[in-house]
Structure formats: structure tokens, C-alpha cells
Amino acid sequence: MCGLIAVSGTVDSAFEVFVGLMNLQHRGQDGAGILAVDSKRQGGFQLQKGSGLVENVFSERTFKNLRGTAALGHSRYATIGRDDPNLLQPFLDYPLGVGLGHNGNIVNFYQLRQELFPDDKLHSDSELILRLLAKGLPDQELNPTTVFNAIRQAMDVLVGSYSVACVTKNGDIFGFRDPHGIRPLVFGIKTNEAQEKVSALCSETVALDFLGYEIVDDLKPGEAIFIDKEGNVKREVLKTESFSPCMFEWVYFARVESVLEGTSVYNARFSLGCLLAEQIKERGIEADIVVPVPETSRISAVALAETLQLPFRELLIKNRYINRTFILDGQASRQEAVRRKLFPIASEFAGKRCLIVDDSIVRGNTAKQIVKLVRQAGAREVILVSSCPQIAHPCYYGIDFPNAEELVAHNRTDEEIAAELGADQVVFQTVEGLTKALKQKTLCTGCLTGTYPSDVEGGKDFGRMRTQDRELTPVKKHQQLTPSKKDNR
């Protein structure tokens, strides 16, 4: 899972991308990069990227160099390879004249790397996508026809999830979604104060809303879009197999201000809370207070408390300087971050029957630690409530749990899960309730049901090789990278 934004049509493109990335920081904390295109400069491209949060990678001085009429930005959440600065995006193929950012996972990455590029040292599936585009665009002019043909050829061999945004040496931008539409990509336009016609592609509407864009729509599954430097738009659906957006976008990853596939993230999470309340009523569960696990579960917890007419209390206080624990690299780092992230107000828990509401329970690290904290604070009863159904199967599409053994719900009943986490009970959302709340006829629910929208035959190999890659890839010291032209091929 990563954040993408591409902007074309203004000399302030790089700065707009920076502001956009600030609003997409929740999608990836490993590092960030911006690639700007300025045809007036020697070489045309200016690239800067580095490890850490967006505000630490770029400074005011950055935008004296990063100027041009188009730019591409990426915030990284590592799912293939470790937290290695050399894997930060965007990637640039300088001879081709294309920079690329990718959100998702290619399930058959290791197979394609071996079959198609055995002599190349490709360390990530994003590099693979760029190489496939280059293979389909040998010495050709970059225009909608040639680019769409190259994308179509890539789609024919790629299996998995991919939303891709690119920038060309001419100042054009283009993008595409996988044939199942698993990962989001949004198109927006505006006319700025300088009366420039500006276009953008982005992972979420929240970033474009902040920048003043009018949201045109979400790209369709298998759709490609090409926007030239004059703002002319060409769109074409190249290959469609299903409509299967990832349910986890609404449940956890997306900003609450965003709208995905026509459904408000806020409204979806509120509905999830209301539906959970009905379950709790049906089971005859009694409680004294409703407590959210900050931050993502707050809206569902409010809805649940209002429906049950119970007091809503924010009693787990978050240290805001700790990163999102789910997307940290490694079990030990997650557990330590949870311990430092939350602190209970003990006097308010004492003697209470508590409904502790979280957005989801994945590995169980956060849930187990919270139950322990709440019990130590003197709670009489601890009932864990998840606005997401049981995550019992691997995700191969960009969420960082490709191995079933990591999942607390894998091969466990609800009673066994509660015992494992130390809770009195656990209450999970149903798949039917999830679909109803998200207002989508179809979703990718592979991690819930074990039924995936695409072929995942190579999924186990993917999980094994991905783990092996992480073990073999040395963790580099955080550094800021500005690759030279000769390093970009």
C-alpha cells in the first residue's frame, strides 16, 4: 500500500505533489520521492527521494530545484524488500523518458523476473512494471496510442494489484489500474489562479480536495488515462476482469475525508459501527462504556455508542509521535510501538464492562497489548469489537500479511481468538454487513474468505520469496537519494 500523486499543467507541479503527499502520508511511512519534469533544464528530469516522513525528506530549498510543468510523487509502504532507500519511488527510466510510481503487489513478480528479465537485478515489482513498459515502447514516441499498447501488453502478463501513475519527459502524465480495480486511482482537474489548466492523478480524493481539484471520477478496472502537457485527455478501458476494490481501504487505510468508488469513508465506517451495535444487541451483551482504539476506529465506535445509547469515552490516549503500527516492518517493531503508542486512563476503566472498538484485528499485536493495558487499569470485563470481519487468509495485493501463520484468526474460532488475546469476548463484523456498509456490490475480500479476484497460485511462493528478500536485503541507513542519469536505466 502506497500513496501516489501526479500533476501536470503548472510550474508549481512539484510543490503541489509535495502537498499532496503530505495528505497521503498515512499510506506509507518508509520514505517518499518526487520526480519533476522541466524541459528547459539539461536532462529534463529532477529527482529527489529519501527515507522517512514526507516533511523530513523535503524542505523549502527542495523546490528551488524541483520545478517543472509536471511532477510525480510517491510515499512508500514496503511489501517487497525491506526498508531500503534504493527501493524508494518514483523509479526513472531515463532513456525511455518515463518515471513511474506504483501502489499494489504483483503476485507473479518472482516468476516474471526469472522468465523475462533473468539478467537484470530487479528488486521490486514496481521496477518490473517500468521495465515491461519500456519493453513495449522501444524507440517509440510517447503518445496515447503507443503508451496504451505498452500498458495492454503489460496487463497480459501481470497478476495482482496495481494502480500506476507515470510522468513523461514531455510533461505528460498517464496512469492505469489493474483489471480488477483492486487499488484506487482518482482523476481530478482544476483551473488555478494563473488560469492554467491543471490535471492530477491520485490515490485518494482527500489530497485532491485539499489542493482544490474537482474530482472527475475513479478510473475503472483495467482503464488507462493519458493527459498531455496541454491538458488533453485520452481514456480507454484496456482489459477488465472484475470490479473488486480492496475492502481494507475503507476499513483502515484511506483517510476518513476520502471518497472511494462513490462511497464516503466516513459514512462507511459509521455504518459499520451501527451494524456492529445490532450484533451486540442480538447477543445480549451488556457494557458500561464504549472505547475506541485511536485513530481509525473512532467513527465506528461513535456510531456503536450512539446506537446502544452507551457513554463514548476516549480512554486510550495515543502518543502522536509513533508511526502507524500496522505498517511498521517486523513483528518486534510493531509490538514495541504498540507499547509506546497507547496509554490508558486507569481511573475511568476501573470496575467497568468495556467495549473496546478497533478497525480490525490482524496479527493481534495491538489487541493483545490493549487488553492487557485495560485489565491492568482495573476493567471488570473486556470485549473486543472489530469493524472488520475475521482476517484469516493472506493478502497478496499490497497489505503486509502474505503469510497465514501471522494472522490471529487463521484456523481459530472466535472463542479461541478471544482466549489468545486475553479478552472475555470478541465481536467481528460480518462479510454481509461489510458489503452493506461499503455500498459496493462486489469487493476484494480474499483475506476474509480465501476467495481472490485473480489467480494467486503463486501466492505461497510470493510470501516465501518476499520473506527471503527481506532477510537477505540489508537494512540501509536512512539517506536522501538523488540518482544520476546513468543510474536510472
Q: Is 356:370 a contact under the CB 8 Å cutoff?
A: yes
Non-local (6+) Cβ contacts of 450 within 8 A are 392, 393
Report d(CA 367, CA 375) in Å as an integer.
12
Non-local (6+) Cβ contacts of 87 within 8 A are 76, 78, 80, 81, 123, 124
Residue 290: which of 315, 258, 266, 270 has the closest Cα? 315
CA quadruple 295, 300, 209, 235: dihedral positive or negative? positive
2 in catalytic set: yes
CA angle 257/261/263 to nearest 5° reads 50
The residue annotated as part of the active site, out of 2, 246, 354, 447, is 2
Q: How far apart are the first and last CA of the chain?
A: 25
Report d(CA 83, CA 89) in Å as an integer.
12
Report d(CA 7, CA 171) in Å as an integer.
9
The residues annotated as belonging to the active site are 2
